[in-house]
Amino acid sequence: MALIGMMGSGKSTVGFWLAQSEGLRFVDLDAAIEERQGRSVPEIFEADGEDGFREMEQSELAACLAAPQPMVVACGGGAVLRAENRELLRHRAWVCWLRATIDTLGQRVRAGENRPLLGDDPMADLAAIGAARAGLYTETAHEIIDVDGMEAQHVADQIRRVWPRTVSAR
Ligand code: S3P
């Protein structure tokens, strides 16, 4: 199972709870990249640019989705930007989009160290990025959950109810 959505939508926290309750391995894609690289995401953006980071993100995602055991993968918000990733996600995973309004995202996201794509006006940036990606999230997701006002555990419960585990454990 893969969780997609904007930064601040709760993918990592929800993914952690889901994996915990289902007894599955949990992979946070950003954390996996940071571990492999021995550098933080902002450091990677700084040194290698966004393209460099996207390259690493694509390999990490492909490696996760090729693994034999089912797992919960929390993708970075921009993982849907590459057509190859969308294709892979769509066919190798059951994908859930954690959809949130810009207000919700803005409350959860603080501009700073961990958000290299956000500048001085994070709300405006989130709105622009969200608008540009909405179609990509829609085309990649098998299911959409609106997470506004919901605690992470409640979101995880809702996903467990709609996750078609009989069709595919992924
Ligand atoms: C990004 C989201 C971040 C991280 C990187 C780029 C994006 O992950 O991958 O800063 O393009 O939306 P989160 O969505 O986990 O914050």
- For residue 117, the CA-to-ligand 1 centroid distance in Å is 8
127 φ, ψ to 5°? -65, -45
Give pTM, 2 decimals.
0.95
Ligand 1 centre to CA of 76 (Å) is 4
Q: In this structure, are residues 6 and 118 in contact, taking their beta carbons and an 8 Å threshold?
A: no
Assign residue 163 a region: left if phi > 0, alpha if psi is -120 to 50, beta otherwise? beta
pLDDT higher than 90, residue 120:
no
163 vs 102: CA distance, rounded Å: 26
For the cut 90, the answer to whether the pLDDT of residue 123 exceeds it is yes
pLDDT > 70: percent of the chain: 95
- Position 165 scores a pLDDT of 76
Ligand 1, atom nearest to 5 Cα: 14
- pLDDT for the residue 22: 92
Nearest to 127 by CA among 151, 152, 104: 104
pLDDT in tens, 34-75: 999 999 999 999 999 999 999 999 999 999 999 988 899 999
Q: How far is the CA of 116 from the centre of ligand 1 (A)?
A: 8
Q: Please report, to the nearest 10 degrees, the dihedral formed by the alpha carbons of residues 65, 71, 76, 82 taken in order.
A: 20
